Each structure stands twice: as structure tokens, then as C-alpha cells.
């Protein structure tokens, strides 16, 4: 759960917001309390979706249909207002981990628990289908393991009465007919149910491949991988995974195949029930007003959507940009470990200045080329400019309709590029004077962003987990962009000569939905137009940060609880991994390449690149995990952004 921003509405219909539960391609979900004290999950639709022709009419029809769904295994809809300025829908709140989170944290479920899960999901689909709906996205993250049994969430929205073009889904849990472009159907939900059961039994999906395209091919053409599925459950799973929709059982027939399930007061393993207890404890702390000292939220997996190329081209024409069309294609909480390079006792941290003004997480920081200005981007929907000498804010904030996740500053220091959860790339004048321009990418939130350092007119962005490259107007001709079919993208960095693009990812599709992510760094040669192999692997979480050394010989990448240095030419690790005490989320080289900074939970550490030993004291003072790092151009300052809603500027010792 994330704290609310002052920009959040004080009330939504009859409900009072308490915290943010999550966000995705459709909108945000807030935990709210009703007039009677009941807790509900309220989904707010993204403003950018409201301009789609007929969207409100479809949303209104879907709300009416979902109200008809009731049953023990769904979180029922209890209120909605499709005609509000920002349409919303409220459903019963279930404080429980998702199936994906539970399998990632505790391993596959026992056979008896999977049978109980199968019966609950079949009953939920029966109730959903009777209302004339198809779920269309039955995945491990949309199945909650509540204390009294499974609960299916997010059913119906944007499916009833919608077109097949609007159908989204996760490749590993998509039915063959939907993978080939067909609309979501009730039979497709049954296929997804079979895939979900395989993951519950084994920790992997039945059609997992090394990438989204191979997974989709396997869904359509390959036989399911069922090793690890108990023999007693294989007939049930096999029936669900029939390639032809007409060969799959209906939910009622599926319940008959499953048979009688033994009643129990605790349906899951003790480890899963401990997770449920943890969620209840988090809820109790929120309602009592208690807040943990250090905020280390788990990063939510990005949902993968097919790029809306037409919308991007149309919007790009308004900005005068040439658009390169891309191919379609949490960090896990780790047990704290001693940092390999950290001294057991270090001196006091150097002087620092705290920059206050943001009202939510500071997600990105960057110095201007002359080092006089620091820019910060925040989940409070603003980017702010700060005078480095006086540590004071310059002018009014640059605003987005939704949270700002990434930023880049042009090579000449005149333009600020920002990406937000609203799906827009915005370009603001660094002077603070004049109007901004905007590009609606229509492909999910804009996360990572990198500007080619040599040419300064090639912008790489992660949008909805996909990579997009934008050649901007300029005198220097950027390298002709190769087609980069990367999916599950999390972080980006250009080499100093702008030839190599490092692409951090969550790893394979089979791991994304289970939460068992093992990040990978891909290297792409944009001049030779090829994927430079092998990939850089060995992480225990998805890639949170990548950075090239100033000479381009080294690449630093962080993921899970480790930092790794790589020889770019030989694709070999340089030394052993550097272990963090908490999650590593950012990394940066000093301008002279002699030092490397990385985040370690709420702290920042600096290493001497030559010997990988800690340089100077640990930088302590943030009360929330550090999200981002940036050196000043002369290397004398380090800026940090944090989940504690502040940024800091640190004066470094030589």
C-alpha cells in the first residue's frame, strides 16, 4: 500500500480514500472506507482513456453487467459512477496475497490446495459467465488467496461489448484463439484457468518460452508442459488446455471433474496463511495511523500490451518527431545480507541538503549539463527544478495528469523530457518559460528513459514494458535504429558513443506473473542492427538500474539484492556480485569513472571502481528506500531521490 498524495480526491462518491493499492494500464486502485466503515477497493479510470470513442458507454454497460456477478469466489462490485468526471468502480476489498505472490514467496501449492483452488476458480467463472461476461485476464495476479478460499478480481471491465482490439492479456495465460487475434471468450477463460493451475502446481506456466513471441507460439502449437502436475489433477488441467474451444469443459462440467473438496478452516499451507496474516497486519497499521520508518515498496510488474502504433504516429506528427515503431514483444524482498564492500563502521556521512516540496515518491533525479540545476520527478504528478547553489525550488512545478516516473535533459540544457503514468511524454522548457508539448504514447505508463549522449536526439523509452526509440529533431544524425524486439523492459542506458543500448528487463515471461523474476540485461548494437550476445544474467530480481562507465568499457547493473559490474567487450562479470543489505534500485558512475554509486535500501554507497572497495562513508539520512542517483557533471555532488518524498544533494569528498 502506498500513501495518498494531496492531489488525490478527498472523497470518491460515498467513499473516503485511505491508501493506494496499485496502478496499471486502466487506472489506479485506491483503498477506501465507506460510510458504514466497510473497506472497498475503488478503481479510478485513467483520464487518457476517456477520449476513446464510446468508452463511457462501454464502461456503463460493463458496470451494469458486473453488478450481476455474485458468489463466494469473486470480489463483488458494490458501487460505481460511469458518468463522474473520472469514472470509478468499487468492489469488496480482500486483504490477501495474489497467487503469483504466494507461489513466488512459498513455492508451489500442495495438491489438496490446488484442487481447492481449481474448484473455487471454476465456481467463480460460472458466476462471471452467467452474467454474460468473459474475464479475459485470469492470471495469477488476479487470483487472491484469501483466508477462506480463492477470490477472483478484475472481471468484466473493458470486455463486455468491447472489441477484440481492446482485449488485453498475458501471453502465458492466453488461449490459442485469442493469441491469433480472436476476442476473449468464456472458453478462453477456462484455458487460462488450466494454465493458472499448472503454475500453482509447478511454479511455471505450461507454455513458457524465452520470450513473449515464443510463448504465444507455444500456446497455439505446442503441447503443454505438465511435469510437476500431480497425476490426479492432470485430467482436469488437460481438459482445460484443449486447443479447440469446443473441446474444453464448461465451469459446471469442470466442477464435476474436480469432485468433492474437503472442508477446512485453513485452505492453504501455513506459509501462505502467514502471508495473509502479514496483509492483515499491514492493514491494521494503516488504520491505526502507524507507518513504518523505512518505506521499501515492492515494485509492481508492468503489464505488457501490444503497441498502439497508429496513435503514436498521429501524436508524433503533432510534435514533428519521426517515430521508430517497436516490435511487439516485483522486485523480490530479499533477506538482508551484509554488503560485501561495506565497512563494519564508517565515519559520519558528508554534508547534505534535503529538498522538500514533493508530496509523494521522488522517482528520478538529473543534473543539467552545466550542473546549476537539479530536476526531480515524482509520483505526485510533478517535475520540479532546484537551484543547486541555494537548494531552493525554481519556479512552479511542471505538471502531468498522473505520476512522473522518468526524466531526461537535452544535451544543450534547454529541454526537459518527462514520462508519466498517464502514458504521455512531455517536453518542458528548462527555463520554466513557455508552453510544454506532449505526446500520447497510448501504450501504458512511461517508465525508464534515456537520451543518447553523443547525438542528443535519440530518445529511448520504456512504455508499458515495451521499448520505443524516438529520433528527435536535430543537426546530428542518430544511428539508424535497429529493430529491438525487447519485452518486459525496466531500465535503459546508452553507451557513451550512443552505439550500444543496454536494456534491463524482468527476465522471461514465465517468471513475470509468478513474481519469481530473474532479471536480464540485453545489449543492442544500434549501428550493426543486432542483439549483442550473450545476455548479462545472474540476478535474483528484475533489473532496477543500468549505467555505462564514461569510457564505455564497463556496465553496472543492479537487480534484486545485488550489484554486478560487467566487461562490455567480453560480456564477463568483473569480480563477484556486490550484495546489498536491502533492495538495490539505482546505480551511477562518476564523470571520471573512478567511483560507482549504488542505492542500498535507504542508503547510498560509493565504491572505488578499480578495487570495488567502499569509498568514504555510507550516505545515510533518507527514511525511505532510494529510487534514483545522479552525479553532478563535475563529480563533486551526488543527488538521490527517495520513497520518503524527498531528494537530497550530497557534498562528496575527493
pLDDT in tens, 545-580: 999 999 999 999 998 889 999 999 999 999 999 998
User: Is the pLDDT score of 292 beyond 60?
Assistant: no
Residue 477 has pLDDT above 80, yes or no: no
Residue 234 has pLDDT above 50, yes or no: yes
Strand partners, 419: 406, 425
Helix/strand/coil percentages in the chain, nearest 5: 20, 30, 50
pLDDT confidence bin for 607, thresholds 50/70/90? very high
The three cell numbers locating residue 502:
543496454
In the structure, what pLDDT confidence band is assigned to residue 20 with cuts at 50, 70 and 90?
confident
- pLDDT beyond 60 at 24: no
**The pLDDT of residue 5:** 64
Instruction: Please say if the pLDDT value at position 226 is more than 60.
Output: yes
In the predicted structure, residue 4 carries a pLDDT above the cut 90 = no
Looking at the predicted structure, is the pLDDT value of residue 212 above 50? yes
| Given the residues 127, 137, 380, 644, the one annotated as active site | 137
Q: Could you report the per-residue pLDDT of 408-456, keeping only the tens digit for each? A: 999 999 999 998 877 788 899 999 887 778 776 656 678 899 999 987 7
**What is the sign, positive or negative, of the torsion defined by CA atoms of 573, 575, 579, 585?**
negative
pLDDT of residue 115: 96
pLDDT tens digits, one per residue of 126-167: 999 988 888 888 999 889 999 999 999 876 554 433 333 334
Give the up-direction half-sphere exposure of residue 566: CA atoms within 13 A in the CB hemisphere.
26
- Is 43 annotated for ligand binding? yes
pLDDT at residue 499 is higher than 60: yes
Q: Mean pLDDT in the chain?
A: 82
Q: At residue 33, does pLDDT exceed 80?
A: yes
Residue 335 has pLDDT above 90, yes or no: no
552: which 3 cell numbers? 564505455
pLDDT at 57: 81
User: In this predicted structure, which of 36-40, 109-113, 621-625 has the lowest mean pLDDT?
Assistant: 621-625
Q: Give pLDDT, residue 627.
A: 93
Residue 496 pLDDT exceeds 70: yes
Does position 338 have pLDDT exceeding 50, yes or no?
no
Coil, strand or helix: which one is 245? Answer: helix
Determine the pLDDT at residue 124: 94
Average pLDDT over residues 254-281: 91
pLDDT at 291: 43
Please give the torsion angle defined by the CA atoms of residues 95, 98, 99 and 103, in that order, rounded to the nearest 10 degrees.
-100
- Quote the pLDDT of residue 567: 96
Task: Name 452's Cβ contacts closer than 8 Å, sequence gap at least 6.
Answer: 458, 459, 460, 478, 494, 498
The mean per-residue pLDDT over the stretch 36-60 comes to 78
Per-residue pLDDT at 62 exceeds 80: no
Q: Does the structure show a pLDDT above 90 at 231?
A: yes
Counting runs of H as helices and runs of E as strands, what totals does the chain give?
A: 11, 35
SS3 20: strand
What's the pLDDT at 379?
84
Give dist(CA 316, CA 532) in Å, integer: 30
Q: Mean pLDDT, to the nearest integer, of 43-68?
A: 75
Percent share of the chain, pLDDT over 90: 47
Print burial letters for 601-619: b (CB count within 10 Å at least 16), e (below 16).
Answer: bbbbbbbebeebebbbbbb
pLDDT tens per residue across span 91-106: 999 999 999 888 888 8
pLDDT at 364: 96
pLDDT at 482: 56
Backbone region of residue 507 per phi and psi (left: phi > 0; alpha: psi in -120 to 50; beta: other values): left
Is 137 catalytic? The answer is: yes
Q: Do you know the residue count of the chain? A: 654
Amino acid at each position: 500500500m502506498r500513501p495518498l498524495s494531496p492531489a488525490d480526491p478527498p472523497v470518491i462518491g460515498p467513499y473516503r480514500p485511505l491508501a493506494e493499492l496499485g496502478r496499471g494500464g486502466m487506472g489506479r486502485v485506491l483503498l477506501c472506507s465507506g460510510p458504514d466503515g466497510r473497506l472497498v477497493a475503488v478503481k479510478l479510470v485513467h483520464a487518457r482513456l476517456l477520449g476513446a470513442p464510446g468508452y463511457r458507454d462501454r464502461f456503463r454497460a460493463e458496470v451494469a453487467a458486473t453488478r450481476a456477478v455474485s458468489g463466494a469466489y469473486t470480489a463483488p462490485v458494490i458501487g460505481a459512477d460511469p458518468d463522474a468526471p473520472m469514472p470509478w468502480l468499487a468492489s469488496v476489498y480482500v486483504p490477501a496475497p495474489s497467487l503469483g505472490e504466494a507461489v513466488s514467496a512459498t513455492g508451489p501449492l500442495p495438491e489438496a490446495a490446488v484442487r481447492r483452488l481449481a474448484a473455487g476458480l471454476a465456481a467463480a467463472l460460472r458466476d462471471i459467465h452467467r452474467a454474460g461476461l468473459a474475464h479475459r485476464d485470469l492470471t495469477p495476479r488476479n487470483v487472491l488467496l484469501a483466508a477462506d478460499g480463492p477470490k477472483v478480481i478484475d472481471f468484466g471491465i473493458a470486455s463486455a461489448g468491447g472489441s477484440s482490439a481492446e482485449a488485453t492479456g498475458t501471453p502465458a495465460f492466453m488461449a490459442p484463439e485469442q493469441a491469433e487475434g480472436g476476442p476473449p471468450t468464456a472458453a478462453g477463460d477456462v484455458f487460462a484457468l488450466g494454465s493458472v493451475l499448472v503454475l500453482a502446481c509447478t511454479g511455471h506456466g505450461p507454455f513458457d518460452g524465452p520470450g513473449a513471441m515464443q510463448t504465444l507460439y507455444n500456446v497455439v502449437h505446442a503441447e503443454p508442459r505438465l511435469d510437476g502436475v500431480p497425476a490426479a489433477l492432470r485430467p482436469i488441467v488437460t481438459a482445460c488446455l484443449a486447443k479447440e474451444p469446443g473441446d474444453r469443459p464448461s465451469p459446471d462440467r469442470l466442477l464435476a471433474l474436480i469432485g468433492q473438496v474437503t472442508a477446512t478452516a485453513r485452505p492453504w499451507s501455513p506459509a501462505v496463511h502467514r502471508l495473509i496474516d502479514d496483509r492483515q497486519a499491514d492493514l491494521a497499521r494503516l488504520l491505526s495511523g502507524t507507518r513504518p520508518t523505512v518505506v521499501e515498496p515492492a515494485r509492481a510488474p508492468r503489464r505488457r500490451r501490444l503497441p498502439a502504433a497508429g496513435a503514436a504516429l498521429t501524436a508524433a506528427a503533432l510534435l514533428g518527431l519521426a517515430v521508430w515503431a517497436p516490435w511487439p514483444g516485483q522486485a523480490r524482498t530479499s533477506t538482508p545480507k551484509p554488503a560485501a564492500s561495506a565497512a563494519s563502521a564508517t565515519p559520519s556521512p558528508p554534508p547534505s541538503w534535503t529538498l522538500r516540496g514533493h508530496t509523494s515518491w521522488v522517482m528520478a533525479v538529473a543534473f543539467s549539463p552545466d550542473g546549476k540545476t537539479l530536476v526531480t520527478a515524482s509520483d505526485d504528478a510533478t517535475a520540479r527544478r532546484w537551484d543547486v547553489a541555494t537548494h531552493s525550488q525554481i519556479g512552479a512545478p511542471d505538471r502531468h495528469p498522473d505520476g512522473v516516473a522518468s526524466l531526461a535533459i537535452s544535451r544543450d540544457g534547454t529541454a526537459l523530457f518527462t514520462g508519466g503514468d498517464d502514458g504521455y511524454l512531455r517536453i518542458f522548457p528548462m527555463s520554466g518559460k513557455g508552453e510544454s508539448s506532449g505526446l500520447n504514447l497510448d501504450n501504458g505508463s512511461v517508465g525508464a528513459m534515456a537520451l543518447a549522449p553523443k547525438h542528443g536526439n535519440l530518445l529511448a523509452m520504456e512504455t508499458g514494458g515495451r521499448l520505443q526509440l524516438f529520433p528527435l529533431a536535430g543537426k546530428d544524425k542518430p544511428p539508424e535504429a535497429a529493430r529491438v524486439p525487447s519485452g518486459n523492459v525496466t531500465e535503459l542506458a546508452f553507451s557513451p558513443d550512443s552505439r550500444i543500448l543496454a536494456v534491463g528487463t524482468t527476465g522471461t515471461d514465465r517468471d513475470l506473473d509468478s513474481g519469481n523474476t530473474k532479471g536480464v540485461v540485453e545489449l543492442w548494437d544500434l549501428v550493426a542492427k543486432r542483439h549483442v550476445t550473450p545476455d548479462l544474467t545472474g540476478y535474483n530480481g528484475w533489473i532496477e538500474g543500468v549505467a555505462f562507465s564514461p569510457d564505455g568499457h564497463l556496465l553496472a547493473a543492479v537487480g534484486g539484492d545485488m550489484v554486478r559490474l560487467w566487461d562490455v567487450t567480453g560480456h564477463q562479470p568483473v569480480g563477484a556480485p556486490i550484495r546489498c543489505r536491502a533492495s538495490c534500485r539505482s546505480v551511477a558512475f562518476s564523470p571520471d569513472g573512478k567511483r560507482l554509486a549504488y542505492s542500498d535500501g535507504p542508503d547510498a554507497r560509493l565504491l572505488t571502481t578499480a578495487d570495488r572497495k567502499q569509498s568514504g562513508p555510507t550516505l545515510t539520512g533518507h527514511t525511505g528506500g532510494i529510487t534514483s542517483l545522479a552525479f553532478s557533471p563535475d563529480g563533486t555532488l551526488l543527488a538521490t531521490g527517495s520513497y520518503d518524498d524527498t531528494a537530497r544533494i550530497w557534498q562528496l569528498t575527493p
